Amino acid sequence: MNANLILYTSAIQAACPEIDLQSLSPIDTGWSSFVMEARNVHADQSWIFRFPRRPEIVKELEMEIALLPHLARSLPVSIPQFELIVPGQDGRPAFVGYPKIPGVSLDSALVDNPGAAASLAEQVGEILTALHQTTLPWVVHRLLPLRTVLDWKRHYLDLYQIVRQQIYPLLTASGQQAATALWEAFIRRRDHFRFAIALVHGDLGAEHILCDPVCSRVTGILDWEDACTGDPALDFVGLLQAGGEEFVRQVLASYRRELGANFWARLRFYTKITTFYEILFGLKIGDPLWTEAGLLRLQGFLYD
């Protein structure tokens, strides 16, 4: 057992003596948090514990703590409810715990029961409509600032400069040209920035959408630390990756909000640049495996 795992186990034991430590197991898949699962011996229920991996993630966790109670009242689906918020020595949250929401990831559900796709898509469309129509009180916006469309464009201009500085040196000359064409085709089109700003999940990958494939039901939406105000098309990226364009069209059939001009062009751009995020993350944490895997995937996107 590594040092971090011992530290996290001890912290859980101190905060929750009713947790069966024999059942404690790591779910080490997140970029932002180290996640562990355990069973409450006094109830037939599993718990999820999340520990921020880096100091800057604590700010995102504080935003989630403020945001989730309001979302729970607005969305027609379960979301994590932090019943345990353990402060660190500085008074800021050291980790949180919540009862596990049952279900498998959306992509697994679509594989396990392809016939459930239409029903799941309809529910996802209704969930996204409710999310993108949600208005939040000022107390939440202190931690989750309101963006304008101009702010959104500036964000991608800044990200483009970071990509040029950090990733371009890793690309061939032809790779740099293809990357430039991809980014500038998005940034230079005015109609790519004609949409109504909405509250978005920000990282709605298939692994964050839990489903019951047998009952054809969406059971939960996880991991809200990247929630922000921005382009609602961003929340369709994971749906496109999990189910393809046909699944996205099924979701759109029950979506009740205007998505603006060039929705599909914006969606395809956001989908392609996920590989740039992977490479930047690998460079940030000094993990060559992340960086190399991202570069391999990037080659396919740049030349398709």
Query: Does 150 lie in the same domain as 15?
Result: no
Of 84, 99, 114, which residue constitutes the final position of a domain?
99
Query: CA triplet 144, 184, 285: central angle to 5 degrees?
Result: 55
Query: Does 148 lie in the same domain as 7?
Result: no
What pLDDT is recorded for position 243? 95
pTM: 0.93
Query: Does 272 lie in the same domain as 204?
Result: yes
Query: Does 147 lie in the same domain as 245?
Result: yes
**How far apart (Å, rounded) are the C-alpha atoms in residues 235 and 199?**
10
Query: Does 69 lie in the same domain as 50?
Result: yes
What pLDDT is recorded for position 18? 81
Query: Does 91 lie in the same domain as 116?
Result: no
Give the tens place of pLDDT for each residue, 65-114. Answer: 999 999 999 999 999 999 999 998 888 899 999 999 999 999 999 999 99
Query: Does 92 lie in the same domain as 151?
Result: no
What pLDDT is recorded for position 91? 85
Query: Does 147 lie in the same domain as 35?
Result: no
Which tokens go with 154? 């500036």
What pLDDT is recorded for position 145? 86
Contacts of 44 (CB under 8 A, 6+ apart): none
Query: Does 150 lie in the same domain as 38?
Result: no
Report how many domains make up the chain: 2
Nearest to 202 by CA among 221, 225, 180, 186: 225
Give the tens place of pLDDT for each residue, 120-160. Answer: 999 999 999 999 999 988 878 888 888 999 999 999 999 99
Across the chain, which has 304 residues, the per-10-residue mean pLDDT values are 76 85 76 86 82 89 95 96 92 92 95 93 98 90 90 97 97 93 95 95 96 95 95 98 97 96 95 94 89 88 68
CATH number, domain containing residue 179: 3.90.1200.10
Helix spans in the chain (H) = 3-15, 55-74, 106-112, 117-132, 138-141, 149-166, 173-187, 237-253, 263-272, 274-285, 288-302
Query: Does 198 lie in the same domain as 66?
Result: no
**How far apart (Å, rounded) are the C-alpha atoms in residues 220 and 123?**
11
Of 52, 69, 99, which residue constitutes the final position of a domain?
99
CATH number, domain containing residue 59: 3.30.200.20
Query: Does 158 lie in the same domain as 76?
Result: no
The CB-side HSE value for 265 (13 A sphere, CA atoms) comes to 17
Of 99, 125, 145, which residue constitutes the final position of a domain?
99
Which tokens go with 275? 């590989």
Domain span including residue 148:
104-302
What pLDDT is recorded for position 256? 97
Query: Does 84 lie in the same domain as 210?
Result: no
Q: Is 280 helix (H, G, I), strand (E, B) or coil?
A: helix
Rounded-to-5 percentages of helix, strand, coil across the chain: 55, 20, 30
Nearest to 279 by CA among 171, 195, 124, 153: 171
